[in-house]
Structure 1
Amino acid sequence: MTVLTLRQHSPAFPVRAELRHGLGPWAAAVIATTVAFNLFVQRYRLGDNWIDSQQMLRHFGVLTGGPVALAAGCWHGGRERRCGTGDLFASAARTPLVRALAACLPAVLWPVCGYLLPAAATLGATWPYVGYGHPSLAMLGQDIVTFGALGALGFAAGRALRWRMSAPLLGPVGYVVLGFTQITDGPVRWLTPAAYSLAESPAWASGLLSAAWMAGLAVSAVLAGHARRRAIAVVPLLAAAAAAALLCRGGDDLWRPERAASAQVCSSGTPVVCVRGEHASALPAVKAVVARIDARLDGVPGAPVRYRESAASESAPPQEVRFQLSGGLFRSQLGDSDMLYRDLAYFVTSRDCGARNAHQPGQPAAEHAALSWMGVEPPMPAGAETQAADRLRAMPAEQRRAWLGRYLDTVPSCDTSRIEAP
């Protein structure tokens, strides 16, 4: 006598089966590969701070991975119609909404997994070179909700649209919509999940509102197609509309510059070198350039004792040089240390005094001599300027330091004509 035993499955078995089979894993692989490839191509644009890295991650993640999530969700949502199993599933004991939620789960979770892989790699690659702050959890959480919502919206579209080409066309349409809303100048641009603001990070309110906007649309679409009482879909739709209105009204106010980015980070010793917090990881490289300047001015009275990264200003305190990092930064290294050295040499020996020094006959030769001693040769010097530079180099060390001290004393007043050329 043969005894048949029926294997009982736990309530989580359909969920596990949905996650392991179907298009979900492939969609995650495509999203991860697409986003990672775009970030690798643009790796030199990734900054040494969390803001730049996460904005690049959001831009390429949502703009290139989002349409894939839409298309994959749409294809997954239309499988019952393609396989002709709609009537079979309709006879099951579970309600249509419960079946839809179980079927929709891969369309939500797999795109999120596909995005998290390049996101973790990007943030991990940025970590060693950041001198301040921490990743924006608001941006990361908003991106996670965005990918899940796009997958759910695609799933709802796949259930509603009966055309087989819906999924292949939904991806490009999503790319156009995401890209257009991102580049528009109106308040609508804050509704796109790919929105970002240069050198600013979103406030928590921005992340919550954007997540409510995208999640509300997705939940409303799924409920409208499968809930027994479809009027309940109005509730998440109203929440999404309220979040969208606040986003459009708030706009730029929901993005704020990080205070740690502009705070001064200074070295010890003399001279003191200060850079902005966002460039703190490059402080050793900047200090090495300043050390070259200080070596040329060793023992000179009135030599700068403080170098500060800031906008150039004629009202800088005595013995302070203000500069801006030239040549760019990448992985805590200066893009062109020689360019920064030339800038610092010019800032030490002269200031942007405008028309006040336009008619000072003694200035060109004296300034050229000082710059030449610093190792910077201005283009096409005249004979008198070259001779002044040669005489300065030929001076005894004590006499040269005394002349350079008198010259530096005239720089803040923009009146270098008070000192004769060597």
Structure 2
Amino acid sequence: MIQTKKNRGTLFTTLMLVVCVVLFSSFKTNPKPPIAGEPIKLGFIPLTDCSPIVMAKELGLFKKYGVEVVVTKETSWANVRDKILTGELDGAHCLYTMPFSVYTGVGGKAGSEMKIAMMLNVNGQAITLSNDFCGKVGFKQMNKVTPVVAAKLKAEKEVTFAMTFPGGTHDLWLRNWMSLAGLNQKAVKIITIPPPQMVANMKVGNMDGYCVGEPWGGVAVKQGIGFTQIASQDIWKDHPEKALVVNKEFSETRREDLKKVMKAILEACIWLDNPANRKKAAAIIGKAPYVNAPADVIEGRLMGDYNLGCNQGTEVYDKDYMLFYKGGTVNYPRKSYAIWAMAQFVRFGYLKEEPNYKAIADKLIMQDLYEEVAKSMKIKIPTDDMKPFSLTMDKTVFNPSNPSAYLKVVKH
């Protein structure tokens, strides 16, 4: 009888240990759901276009709208992706194409949902080439890119370009640039480097050129290791760039708080589009906790004054530099741009078959939520979504209602 009691006690203890292990494992692997009243966690990558989130924090706009927001600097776009999907971040300053890249399996696990609440900016990225190309390829001299790259390939066997995330905006601008220059993307090596590490990697010769957001194009010029070959707004004036991307569960369970966050960020976007405020913004976001880059470089390109490097002088952009509001036309999350991005995934070989463009855009873009917030702030809602459009340099017409027709005629 005594032996039986011992056996039962041992069995009970074992069972309790198993239960504890199972419960502990579930706590480790399952993301904690958002809890009302908890601080909202927003991430950003050190780029000039993180300004709407940073300035909403610095100007006290989140507090004005009644939400407590913690802003955190992240190391890479893959890191941002993972934290949004697990709920470690409620949202982030993010490449607008990332949710579509992740959902389609280009840049993540297919079917993973990241939601776009609003857009943050247009323009303000650039293709930077190393000084090895200085004097051989000038500013916007697209016809000279391919012969110079071909000569370098013949001499050194390999040319490497960098972007920041597969299927991300910088990847798409880089590949469109190569197409416009007549350069076969398969002829060069394309690698992924986090934005703040671009300059250091070029300095040690890890790449011949890169596409990234400011200030890292301007910093390469300031350090004398590269020059601006073209700005992204030259390829496509007022192209969509960064978005406020949020965790799916957060968007569903804390919808009212998300609306308050969006109002604060929209007000920051309005503030940023006043040229008189850009010097102050540059000084703030240039600090170590944020972008950690020279304020004069940030300010110059924020104001549209591009020192191109390589003795090319300065290019002044007066209407198509980095914009954050532009009467509300910037911030509206257009489904047509999402469809265009996914068509690029097919065009450049990331996807073998065309996805269900409209269904994915409908699933991931929270257009109704944005319209609700915009109307409450008396911000005009654009009416151009789903209308055909062309890029500035590539005049091929893209009809978002028929991307298959575009893919039949566009250059690869």
TM superposition score normalised by structure 1 = 0.23
- Which of these two proteins has the greater Rg computed from alpha carbons? 1
TM-score (norm 2): 0.24
Q: 1 or 2 for the larger relative contact order (CA 8 Å, sep ≥6)?
A: 2
Write 1 or 2 for the structure with the bigger share of helix. 1
